[in-house]
Amino acid sequence: MNIRLPESAALGETIPERLARLRGAMARAGLAAYIVPTDDPHLSEYPPERWQSRQWLSGFDGSAGLLVVTADFAGLWTDSRYWVQAEAQLAGSGVQLMKLLAAQPIYAHVDWLAQNLPAGATVGVDGAVLGVAAARVLTDKLSARGIAVRTEADLLDEIWPGRPALPDVAVYEHAAPHAGDTRAEKLARVRRAMQENGAQWHFVSTLDDLAWLMNLRGADVTYNPVFVAHALIGLDGASLFIGDGKVPRETVEALARDGVRVEPYRKATGALATLPAGSTLLFDPRRITYGLLQTVPASVKVVEAVNPSTFAKSRKTAREAENVRATMEQDGAALAEFFAWFESALAKGETITELTIDERLTAARARRPGFVSLSFSTIAGFNANGAMPHYKATAASHSTIEGNGLLLIDSGGQYLSGTTDVTRVVPVGTVTAEQRRDFTVVLKAMMALSRAHFPRGIRSPMLDAIARAPIWEAGLDYGHGTGHGVGYFLNVHEGPQVISHYAPAEPFTAMEEGMITSVEPGVYRPGKWGVRIENLVLNSVAQETAFGSFLKFETLTLCPIDTRCIELPLLREDERAWLNAYHENVWTRVSPHVSGDAKAWLETRTQPI
């Protein structure tokens, strides 16, 4: 079968035909293999259309994956979250699914190349979209086998007719009362970190860092209020490299007052290439591309460290935290309105599909003050679809909510005063004893981590086992992380913290006061159902003792957890008390923002157990 292409694709063109064109370009360039990462020049999790090359070449549109093409092979490496989706989307494309196992290194494709290419072969990859860390692994491993790597060519430009241009949507100020610190205060904080590292210059490419640092927002990436740009920061001034016409005149003037010059996007590489000899440049090797680094003169000393803005924006100010609390009340009200409608429509026998859920939930959020957009594509998965952690219903493939089972809904919103992300599972018809056990085990896991106290500075991946302990005790597990950082009206996935034993426990992952993180354990039974319960939590001070400073989590999300799915004998008294206290807080905080059916629903779903 042929993969159905987007409407913008050339009529009648198939994935195999695109791969054939790439292989022709590889042959002309003398390349035995070509690597197509998911990334863009800013290493974004969700790249703008211009850099969705891996999707264009393979047909797979999951947010994580990497394509390798040789003369007689094409393989897509992705993890277990996307295996079912990838198998369906790659069918008939000539691209083989290469399952990336949890125990495997993320650079398993490099090992495959080293084992399958002969000495003397050359591998190509566009250095403009290749991270520095990935480039180092690639060149080190392949050079040891006598295989060369070329990073100067973007073959997609040669083979992709009508390739999308750079986004041209204008940026806008994220100002008081929604913004935290001023732009001048943020730039001063970054410059202090530069001086501590002995650097006169600092280059920033990651879009959420730039949006935070400049107190600007945009719409260049779906669901993320960011814009395509680079910045070069000096001790006395800064340059923002951005597309022509994207910054309104009054914003250009405001930036100038804070010492920020607006320059064309294309001039970023030239600015790096002309840095003064003998100066020192600070950059984050995890958040800059190899192509950009290659333009830095050899006479410039480089210092590698995590972007100061990455640390700073992860630690929400007291004002930002208070804004997020207010946002959670509004988001909780939207969820109450939605679930009240859902249960009423279900009882009346109305036709409800996974697409209907997305439409209704989005509309409920859109009625709330400060709403800008969704924070990611809503996941509404009924029964077997809920067993796919990153499932997405489409017009061509979705389920109707009927019969018996579990409905998993993972959704979130971007508001001017915060970003939300919540997952709930609700019963449809009759729920089985096994489904209730799975739900209860996941709930116990979520509560275990939500109630934890831990030393300030502990490396966040180490907290993962606290959530997994009840799940492991039941002989279960799940293949994704337990938590990710969340931005402040920024990316719903934000570092540096991550709660996952799959991630290395490096020093920069330390937990500090003010960080917002998700807590979202799960259990998935392929072909049957999935359970995931997710709240966002805020790191706050627990206590100071002779043994140090300890943090705890303040639960931010305000949405009832459906007690109809709980196997009550499996909960301890302290767990019941936590859940009752949570529901009392949900009622107290959200009820003033709803009325009628939504308020009645909220009262029913927050009753103590």
510-534: burial string, b at 16+ Cβ within 10 Å, e else? bbbebbbbbbbbbbbbeebbbbbbb
Contact (CB, 8 A) for 218 and 171? yes
Instruction: List alpha helices for 348-482, DSSP H.
Output: 354-366, 433-450, 464-473
Q: Rounded to whole angstroms, how far apart are CA atoms 41 and 430?
A: 49
Cis amide bond preceding 177, omega within 30: yes
Burial of 225 (0-12, 13-18, 19+ CB in 10 A): buried
Backbone φ, ψ for residue 412 (5° rounding): -170, 165
Contact (CB, 8 A) for 486 and 539? no
Collect contacts of 96-100 with beta carbons under 8 A, ≥24 apart.
none
Inter-CA distances, 331 with 52, 491, 593, Å: 31, 17, 10
Contact (CB, 8 A) for 221 and 48? yes
Q: Can you give the pTM of this predicted structure?
A: 0.91
Q: Rounded to whole angstroms, how far apart are CA atoms 609 and 589?
A: 19
CATH class of 15-159: alpha beta
Q: Rounded to whole angstroms, how far apart are CA atoms 428 and 267?
A: 56
What does pLDDT average to in each consecutive run of 10 residues of the chain (609 residues)? Answer: 34 86 97 95 91 94 92 93 88 93 76 96 96 92 96 92 93 91 96 97 97 97 95 97 97 98 97 97 93 95 95 96 98 98 96 97 98 96 94 92 97 98 98 98 98 98 98 96 98 96 93 98 97 98 96 98 98 98 98 98 98
What 3 state SS string does 136-182 have?
Answer: HHHHHHHHCCCCEEECCCCHHHHHCCCCCCCCCCCCEECCCCCCCCC
Backbone φ, ψ for residue 530 (5° rounding): -135, 150
Q: Rounded to whole angstroms, how far apart are CA atoms 177 and 204?
A: 26
Q: Which of 564, 537, 540 is nearest to 552 (CA)?
A: 540
Instruction: List alpha helices for 315-422, DSSP H.
Output: 318-347, 354-366
The SS3 assignment for 274 reads coil
Contact (CB, 8 A) for 390 and 348? no
Q: Which of 425, 419, 418 is nearest to 446 (CA)?
A: 425
Inter-CA distances, 605 with 423, 457, 520, Å: 16, 37, 20
Contact residues for 584 (Cβ-Cβ < 8 A; gap 6+):
606, 608
Q: Rounded to whole angstroms, how far apart are CA atoms 548 and 545?
A: 5
Q: Rounded to whole angstroms, how far apart are CA atoms 99 and 575?
A: 38
Contact residues for 28 (Cβ-Cβ < 8 A; gap 6+):
none
The SS3 assignment for 551 reads strand
Q: One fold for both 15-159 and 172-308?
A: yes
CATH homologous superfamily for the domain 172-308:
Creatinase/prolidase N-terminal domain (3.40.350.10)
What integer pLDDT is reported at residue 103 of this predicted model? 58
Domain boundaries along the sequence of the chain: 15-159, 172-308, 315-595
Correct CATH for 315-595 of 3.20.20.70, 3.90.230.10, 3.40.50.10470, 3.10.129.10: 3.90.230.10
114: left (phi over 0), alpha (psi -120 to 50) or beta: alpha
Q: Rounded to whole angstroms, how far apart are CA atoms 487 and 414?
A: 10
Contact (CB, 8 A) for 229 and 260? no
Partners of 125 in the β-ladder: 35
What integer pLDDT is reported at residue 100 of this predicted model? 87
**In the numeric block, which tokens belong to residue 365?**
């959020």
What 3 state SS string does 552-579 have?
Answer: EEEECCCCCCCHHHCCHHHCCHHHHHHH
What integer pLDDT is reported at residue 311 of this predicted model? 95
Contact (CB, 8 A) for 209 and 134? no
